[in-house]
Structure 1
């Protein structure tokens, strides 16, 4: 082995290089006694390097131990018809008639009349099949459970499984499709519950965790941080955005803070694959509890309505109309004879305040109006022609989808428009905005002459002959006055296509 004698300059360069390598690699450099006495002052003058202090990660074990018993697995079933083959009582040629039409005749003997075999009038058999999986959690010890509406919607039966293996059959107390919230109940006492947290205290960067049943794997815990608050996705409510891993089956489960309190209900993921890709969305629990109060009391949610179509105020629009900031809700349409119309609201107005609350984003208005009690007289501040104006608007009730009032209204409209065979209702504001239309009526059912002309449920009728259709009531009046001796022209919107359809009224 060959040794090399180091001079003093070489020794100092070697020590400096070793120190630099140690700092870059994160290692620890041990200083030994100097080889020469002259090297000691140089080493002593080098500044001491402080070791970095690692931040302690949160320990979720205590939170999970307390919260886990309150989280449940939810599975639902649906009823489907059973296809019976030949010999099961059904027509063996039914499949042929599906392809060739109802008049298809089976081959018979030469010279024999071609008659269809008698059809069995017995209703088809049905069976229950698994429909979906989800999660939920107890909010009271007497069995009330919160989950998502899409977890239990259209379910025939709902089964709730606890972490200790007990299973209960649940009933639906009430659902709200608009917020995607459902309240269900099991017949049980002494259930573990989760405390409700303060969403307003939540901050970006805070640790949160989810408990649920992704892919049916019950009692699964995942964690992450809050990545955004008040995330606007165009839905009715703003969401809490996190990077907590959430997958199918987590829906309806709780989002917890480090105090073990519920701050949200896991509801959606932003994904291109159908699985978790780093962004999950939760419904803020304060919004949920407002819905729960009404669901407990009446099984449905009552919301206010003023009858406007709105959009975003862009910076260019704000500059053009003299708005100091690009805030508020830009009115693009006003429902004829609605509350806003009666109050004097005009297209082009920018609603800045409603009932004392500022409208910072256009999506704030539907939520604030919805929370206002129907029948209330409310002050609404709008920006019009370079200045603020205050209008008084009387809030009406938004009809619940599928409610008794809506059903009665549709029935009366179906009778009034009997000459055209159409039952119609108002076009929802979101649908009008999507289709970029104003007014019109939405076809609920088409029978007789309209069905023969090709109209179907979901079509939008924009005009009758040369008169624009503005409301279901006006449509009924126009349909009652049509000339039954000649065809009626209906301007119909279906998807992205608009065309005239000729319908000859029933006499």
Structure 2
């Protein structure tokens, strides 16, 4: 303590001595006012809850490694590594401290054969005073029992109202009244750079507050929804907690992080509250979410594909396969089409289309604008109801690398496909790749792939393919429509110059 005081004294003396010798130095600019989150936390904090889940397991089942908190770490392994928690011989469980209701994580059933063991921990927030609580679907996934703990330490066993895995939203209900509820904001008004706050239970530490800024909007992570990206510290246990703006309004649900370690690395993602509330309203009224579908598999439109097809910019959703007899098939949509608009709304990225279609009521008549062979077409379509996810799967069988035998500009050797085989593949035309080299090999084409179109020309025979390939301009990219398994996609190739 003495040393610290001495150093502090000399530092102060040095400042006092130096200041008189710099009378003309401009005074430092006043520090910018930093946000004060105290009132915001006082307002919203009481409506944020801790959620823990339990599952009934045989008492003989192996438990968790000694010294590890089962609830926190099981979610850590499941959510961020996609694997179950490593197991070891079970040790006796003790009650969770500070849970108000004093519920235990392990209690034998009446028959003595099963035990209630903690299976996860997360956060949530109260939507209404009568006890509806929103959280993430992955927080309550696989739970036999759900417990909600309030900031005043009261604990309630919750009833699961509904879960939507596609958006990772769940709603549960507790038997209580006059509860503090959050105020729902407008995620469409979120601005990049604004301050935001997260409240939750990272690693089971209830009512933890972290702050940061919105880093990006509409971030596509491959999920159904575009996320709000922030630099707010979010860790396992924060899942399901609210993301709050400076007005004290909930604008998102903290759901994911980008990490190479499983812990926070400066990037976190939140589900926009507008989308979450649409899901929650359906879950509260019917217990499930009804979505529309048009039965296509789609892919992204890259700049190379757009340039080779004459599109002004890389936009839209590339149709890779069409379900036979589905709405898209009946509307005349074909593999290789690019969907530019759905019911008048522009499809800027492929991930926009599933959201647009999903938000459309089944039975609705809509218009799809497609790009095909250099022209746009409007096709009427009737949206169907989504029952189960149907994803076209590509053939995963490895194909031995062929000996280079293709001498044309694309580096592709092809052969005709028998009529009966075309019929079984539900194709009108196409040729089969026998060997690849050069541009085609570098692009990842394989023996067994089927070439359907080169540029805007449908390929009907091997002879025609060779003729088309011989007239390609080596200075321009060309889009080759290729089918592999059940997937169809454009592969942009740059033809090689003819050798002299």
Counterpart in 1 of 2:308?
A: 320
User: Alpha-carbon deviation of 1:428?
Assistant: 2.3
2:36 aligned with 1:59, yes or no? yes
Question: Any idea what the Cα deviations from partners look like across 1:177-203, whole Å, max 9, x if unmatched?
Answer: 000000000011000011011111111
Return the alpha-carbon distance in structure 2 between the equivalents of residues 269 and 211 of structure 1: 15
1:97-136 counterparts in 2 under 5 A? 125-136=113-124
2:154 aligned with 1:166, yes or no? yes
**Per the alignment, do residues 128 and 84 of structure 1 end up closer, same or farther by CA in structure 2, a change over 3 Å counting?**
closer
Counterpart in 2 of 1:49?
A: 26
User: Alpha-carbon deviation of 1:31?
Assistant: 4.7
2:55 aligned with 1:78, yes or no? yes
Counterpart in 2 of 1:229?
A: 217
User: Alpha-carbon deviation of 1:52?
Assistant: 1.8
Counterpart in 2 of 1:247?
A: 235
Contact preservation (8 Å) 1:81, 1:124: no
User: Alpha-carbon deviation of 1:436?
Assistant: 10
Return the alpha-carbon distance in structure 1 between the equivalents of residues 366 and 61 of structure 2: 60
- 195, 200, 205: which is aligned to 2:188? 200
SS at match of 1:218: coil
Structure 2: which 5+ runs fail to align? Answer: 1-14, 63-110, 399-420, 427-484, 486-500
Return the alpha-carbon distance in structure 2 between the equivalents of residues 84 and 354 of structure 1: 51
- 357, 370, 373: which is aligned to 1:385? 373
Return the alpha-carbon distance in structure 2 between the equivalents of residues 390 and 30 of structure 1: 78
Return the alpha-carbon distance in structure 2 between the equivalents of residues 383 and 81 of structure 1: 57
User: Alpha-carbon deviation of 1:357?
Assistant: 1.0
TM-score normalised per structure 2: 0.65
- 198, 211, 224: which is aligned to 2:199? 211
1:33-432 counterparts in 2 under 5 A? 49-83=26-60, 125-399=113-387, 428-429=390-391, 432=393
Return the alpha-carbon distance in structure 2 between the equivalents of residues 62 and 436 of structure 1: 60
Return the alpha-carbon distance in structure 2 between the equivalents of residues 324 and 32 of structure 1: 61
SS at match of 1:432: coil
User: Alpha-carbon deviation of 1:82?
Assistant: 2.4
Return the alpha-carbon distance in structure 2 between the equivalents of residues 272 and 132 of structure 1: 21
Return the alpha-carbon distance in structure 2 between the equivalents of residues 320 and 32 of structure 1: 66
Contact preservation (8 Å) 1:309, 1:433: no
User: Alpha-carbon deviation of 1:128?
Assistant: 0.9
SS at match of 2:183: coil
Contact preservation (8 Å) 1:306, 1:395: yes
Question: Any idea what the Cα deviations from partners look like across 1:131-176, whole Å, max 9, x if unmatched?
Answer: 1100000010000000000111110100100000111110011110
Counterpart in 2 of 1:30?
A: 20
Return the alpha-carbon distance in structure 1 between the equivalents of residues 60 and 22 of structure 2: 87
Counterpart in 2 of 1:420?
A: none
SS at match of 1:183: strand
Question: Any idea what the Cα deviations from partners look like across 1:30-81, whole Å, max 9, x if unmatched?
Answer: 3589xxxxxxxxxxxx7x6352221111000000001111000001100111
Contact preservation (8 Å) 1:159, 1:170: yes
**Per the alignment, do residues 243 and 32 of structure 1 end up closer, same or farther by CA in structure 2, a change over 3 Å counting?**
closer
User: Alpha-carbon deviation of 1:466?
Assistant: 11
Root mean square deviation, CA, Å: 2.6
SS at match of 2:147: strand
Structure 1: which 5+ runs fail to align? Answer: 1-24, 34-45, 86-122, 402-426, 438-464, 471-497, 499-507
User: Alpha-carbon deviation of 1:332?
Assistant: 0.9
| Higher radius of gyration, 1 or 2 | 1
User: Alpha-carbon deviation of 1:83?
Assistant: 2.5
Question: Any idea what the Cα deviations from partners look like across 1:98-127, whole Å, max 9, x if unmatched?
Answer: xxxxxxxxxxxxxxxxxxxxxxxxx99211
SS at match of 2:325: coil
Higher-RCO chain (CA-CA 8 Å, sequence separation at least 6): 2
Aligned length: 342
TM-score normalised per structure 1: 0.64
SS at match of 1:230: strand
Return the alpha-carbon distance in structure 1 between the equivalents of residues 61 and 368 of structure 2: 62
Question: Any idea what the Cα deviations from partners look like across 1:332-385, whole Å, max 9, x if unmatched?
Answer: 111111100000001111101101211001100001000000001101101111
SS at match of 2:184: coil
Return the alpha-carbon distance in structure 1 between the equivalents of residues 367 and 279 of structure 2: 24
**Per the alignment, do residues 32 and 322 of structure 1 end up closer, same or farther by CA in structure 2, a change over 3 Å counting?**
closer
